[in-house]
Structure 1
Amino acid sequence: MDRIIKTGVCSYGMSGQIFHVPFLHVHAGFEFTAVVERSKHLAQQQYPNVKVYTSVEDMLKDASLELIVVNTPNYTHYGYAKAALEAGKHVIVEKPFTVTAAEGVELAALAKEKGLFLSVYQNRRYDSDYKITREIVSSGLLGDILEAEIHYDRFKEELSYKKHKEVANPGTGSLYDLGAHIIDQALLLFGMPKSLWADIRVIRRDSVVDDYFELVLYYDQLRVRLKCSYLVREPLPSYQIHGRIGSFIKTKSDVQEAMLQKGLLPGTPDWGAEAPYEWGLLHTEKDGKVLKQYLPSPNGNYMEYYQGIYDALVNGADNPVPAADGLRIIQVIEAAFRSSKERKVVDL
């Protein structure tokens, strides 16, 4: 590579260990240079040359760092991203971009003012199941899309071991966490809705944060339903797309997170390849004939995001997930909370 981008990561919890550092390590254009760990030095056990700082503030003083990954709890995204930009660093912010739309607007303006790069890490754009769904929607094989439903369900009554996720603070709960993924996917597939309705609830026994939501996004003819529940033992398909001439049904089946948790590194053979029994079902008409078949998905690959970051920083390519995309998600989330509280449809 002509240029190596020295990168600092703000946290070495699951997000750092699983979703960021392996890709920085494998990609020849990045160097995992620094990390923040306040007590444990787990990163150095696997990456002996990494510099360890005890605070984000100290790491931002490292003049060698060009890029900062803000992967700390949601309520800290705005503060740490702002500090990194003010320190002259390019920034990747984990989803959700910010807690409020006003914070997102301010960060985007600051990055533009300083001529710095700001991107949001929306990795589920690069899941195999979403990739095939997007291909089918854009292909026209279903005709005009009239109805779509996207699920991100779990079965987990117990609270998360990540204590910050289970405290009733701004930015916690399923809508900010899992909702940020499927809202992003819906907006990529269908654009910004004209209005929405939402029902956001707490359903686990000991929970104080939302762990169930249903959103209905209103377009001209199209309705898109986004659903999440932490108490779904037998999940429905994650993608149900119905058009004027056909349907596409797809399970949530991307294997990358499971591969990363096993210690596998991106770039290994069959990285992100789905099993055939997870293929999506297409049932439609083509050339006057009914077509019903199972289709393989493209391999999932989160490295596509980091390759996009490298191309943007080094070659002037488009930002793979610009701040404006992250901001639209927060605008939808804020409108959803307003709709659920007021029990009415809210215009966007």
Structure 2
Amino acid sequence: MSEPGADREARVVYVNGKFVAQRTTGVQRVATALLQALDTRVPAGRFVLLCPPGGDAPVLHNIAVRRVGPRGLALHLWEQAVLPWAARDGWLLSLAGAAPAFARRHLAMLHDAAVFDCPWAYRPAFVRWYRWLFRRLGRRAVALLTVSEFSRQRLQAVLQPAAPIFVVRNGADHLQDVVPDASVLARLGVAGRPFVLAVGSSNPSKNLPALARAHALLGPDAPPLVVAGGRRDRVFGDVHWPDTPGLVLAGPMNDAELVALYRAATLMAFPSLYEGFGLPPLEAMQHGCPVIVAPIPALLETCGSAAACFDGTDPQAIARGLRTLLDDPARRRVLAQQGREHAATRRWDAAAGELLDVLLVTGAVPELS
């Protein structure tokens, strides 16, 4: 491991831009929002986003954008071979989970320890690769970053890294200015109707089929359950959906569609059995949607007292939690207000400040003047 503060002559911080060429899920959204917030706080000339050719980089003003490597190269090979060579004269900052194994002066954000804690949710090859990569990063990186105290503790326990682990908590304001596309409501058959919303990828640990089974227990008069999220069959284990009435598998949503769903939903249910942070509940809160979650450590840390809870391991308990909120509009109004207030305390500008503190402590950014 490089010593913190070593190689201070390397004044440029390169940012791993692999995420700009990927479909946006949680880690890509975090990387984009954090980078855009960082862009407002740093002087020009100190940071460079290194992207694969063809990647759609976010709009930045002080962070330069440079595309490196040949077109058509697989993203994994680009990250492991092209990126560390392009960043060899500076520091490298990886924010989206995956990271090059052999980079020098490297700071890497690992969002959770899920490949160690719930390997059953992933394909075996994915587990083997990421376990090896995370262990190597723990030995070789100057510092590790993560998104919650829960994740910090779990990564510390499973990796026992030589590198220190710093927490940079996610913000919730990345969708606040998005204009909703209400046409999605008619397309999904819920325009003007109450409905329960769930947001998450087809990862078994998200526990969404259990939510669907619980929803079926509410009976034929229950409002529809809309599940928004995509599939990544090469990454996640199989998910088996029950054949139940009222279940709407909406697939992946763009930001405008997602905001429309958050604003129109009667409530948002998040039954996940494992999270490193849990961003969708905060997104829902930011748009005034009452939230109910499984009381796992990361979600309790993220949501505080602004969300209701149900036992995510028991469909009967999930159904009771849903029914209680569906039958209590006054409680939903209280949760919506508490959620807005709570989400307002989670800002990406504050996250960028935490990240800058880490860069200063490690010597990646000796000073910003």
TM-score range, shorter chain: 0.3 to 0.5
**TM-score, normalising length from structure 2?**
0.39
**TM-score, normalising length from structure 1?**
0.40
Structure (1 or 2) with the greater strand fraction: 1
